[in-house]
Amino acid sequence: MTRYFKKPNSASLAFMVAGAVWFVVGAVYGMFSAIHLVSPEFLPEVAWLVFGRERPVHVNTMLYGFVGTMLIGCGLYCVPMLLRTRLWSEPLAWGGFVLWNLVILSGPLGFAFGYTQGREYSEYTWSADMLLMVAVTLIIINLIMTIVHRTEQQLYVSIWYFVAAFLWTAGNYPIGNVMWHPATGAMPGLIDSIFLWFWGHNLPGLFITPLATGAAYFVIPRVARTPLNSHTLSLLGFWLLVALYTHIGGHHVLQSPIPNWLKAVSIVDSVAMVVPVTIVVLNLWLTARQRGAVVWGDPAARLVMAGIVWYLITCIQGPVQSLPYLQRVTHFNNWTVGHAHIAMLGFGGYIALGAMYHILPMVTGRSVYSARLINLQFGLITFGLTGFFLVLTAAGLVQGTSWNNGETVYRVLPQLRPFMVSRAALGIFILTASIIGLINLIMTITHGRKLAPEELDQAEEGL
Ligand code: HEM
Ligand code: HEM
């Protein structure tokens, strides 16, 4: 048994399997949340299954559990592979796995029963925060030591992104979660919103984004069988992300009385974010340009490429909705929920799934059980998510324009019903896709065709 915890890539696989399980759990909670927005009286006697309790379980399980966990699994494979060495310590990675997943488990088991700090994206209680910090520290030690023992001298850009995601999180998480106030995890009054959105913004921006970008930079050149278009551009994109993303959390609270200078900085740099995003998108597209048919024809790479398309859409919408005048229509309503889904599922989720399927043969030694199931999952998610985006954006515009015309919140609610019903119906496609993905993953591990040693070598070399 203990030998299994030393087996190369076993922790990477464990993270990816856990990510797929959390995708299903998060989708179930998403469905309950969506149903309760249509019919609040559904299952009234179950106290832990009311909207206010299941929503944070859904959100945290999706972000930390599905997207975060799956991408960590990818990183634990990619970094040693690119450095042509083994992960420094497989048991240490397993330690990180156990602690990280205990934190996520504290969502469904804790939030629903009142163990929450009640701050969006910072709901985990102080003890879970501590476990998360230890988990992140173990991963950092492991990655740094792997770099120290590398046989490949060049640090490919994916390594920068993967390692930076954990270093930034180790710095940003305790600040945004106000961990020096264990009892509340909060600052008093309005100032708390600045701390809260520091992490609320850096969770997508400096944890999910670098992990997903690192994974995309890993998969696309390998499938296209061509070198990256430009290493200089890739590093420029990396440093511009650091320079611009770190301090724009203020754009979440533009409609509140935070200091004006903070608003100005966050707006200007939100708009400037177009530059690093364009760099990443162009660099990957130019890498794939001569090999479009191969890349879009590969089920795993197609998910990654589609993730890049969602990234572009998200990051055109993002700077636009950072303009305070426009935000008077889009803030506090379903428009933002639409943005959150195309960002987290469209960008983060697609790339996590695509990278996972790409890596799976190397970590299991088996070919993926069914390419058709990957394609089916892709189709279902794409249908569900495109529908989400259209329906939620429309619902947000109805809410925002009505409120600006003096309507009260409750008088607009009946107008939202068709949108909320559609969202719940579309959610069934995404839930089904999550279950199909889990089945495909389990079938790969148990029934996938075993690769011959030379096939495995070829897969590792990207041939
Ligand atoms: C150029 C890049 C981006 C800009 C300028 C931007 C801007 C914004 C703004 C202004 C909001 C707040 C909207 C409001 O409350 O009225 C927001 C919300 C959000 N963004 Fe972005 N965004 C960008 C990219 C991304 C990416 C790449 C992700 C995910 C990886 C992401 C995830 C989210 C999420 C989850 C929310 C919802 C937060 C909430 O619960 O209120 N964004 N974004
Ligand atoms: C079965 C599919 C899904 C359904 C039915 C669903 C439903 C919902 C609902 C009802 C909310 C609450 C919206 C509100 O407060 O008005 C929500 C929020 C959210 N969901 Fe989902 N969701 C699904 C999949 C996902 C996935 C796959 C992700 C990420 C990978 C995700 C990320 C989020 C985020 C970040 C929020 C917070 C949005 C905000 O505060 O602006 N959801 N979802």
Cβ contact 10:89 at 8 Å: no
pLDDT along the chain (463 residues), means of 10: 87 98 98 96 89 96 98 98 96 98 96 93 97 98 98 95 98 97 93 95 97 98 95 96 91 94 96 96 95 95 98 97 95 97 98 98 96 98 98 98 96 97 98 98 97 87 68
Enumerate the domain spans of the chain. Answer: 11-461
Cβ contact 393:340 at 8 Å: no
Counting atoms of ligand 1 from 1, which one is nearest the CA of 311?
27
CA distances from 358 to 294, 366, 459 (A): 14, 12, 9
CA distance 366 to 63: 28
The residue nearest atom 37 of ligand 1, judged by CA position, is 340
* Among the listed residues 54, 58, 20, 45, the one whose alpha carbon sits nearest the alpha carbon of residue 340: 58
Where does 11-461 sit in CATH, by number? 1.20.210.10
Cβ contact 103:134 at 8 Å: no
* Among the listed residues 221, 118, 214, the one whose alpha carbon sits nearest the alpha carbon of residue 166: 214
Does residue 33 have its Cβ closer than 6 Å to ligand 2?
yes
CA distance 263 to 257: 9
Q: Which residues contact 303 (CB under 8 A, 6 or more apart)?
A: 350, 351, 353, 354, 357, 374, 378
Cβ neighbour number for residue 397 with a 10 Å cutoff: 15
CA 272–ligand 1 middle distance (angstroms): 14
Cβ contact 440:368 at 8 Å: yes
CA distance 159 to 164: 8
Predicted pLDDT of residue 271: 96
CA 333–ligand 1 middle distance (angstroms): 13
H/E segment holding residue 136: helix 126-148
Counting atoms of ligand 1 from 1, which one is nearest the CA of 330?
16
Residue of 62, 64, 327, 386 with the most ligand 2 atoms within 8 Å of its CB, for mutation: 62
Distance from chain centroid for Cα 244: 19
The alpha helices in 292-370, defined as continuous H runs, are 292-297, 299-321, 324-330, 334-341, 350-364
In the block, residue with structure tokens 């303009």: 323
Instruction: Pick the ligand that lies closest to the CA of residue 334.
Output: 2
The C-alpha R_g of the chain, in whole angstroms, comes to 21
Cβ contact 214:194 at 8 Å: no
Helix, strand, coil percent values for the chain (each to nearest 5) = 80, 0, 20
CA distance 359 to 78: 8
- For residue 414 the two structure tokens come to 């009946």
CA distance 97 to 332: 36
Predicted pLDDT of residue 1: 65
Does residue 351 have its Cβ closer than 6 Å to ligand 2?
no
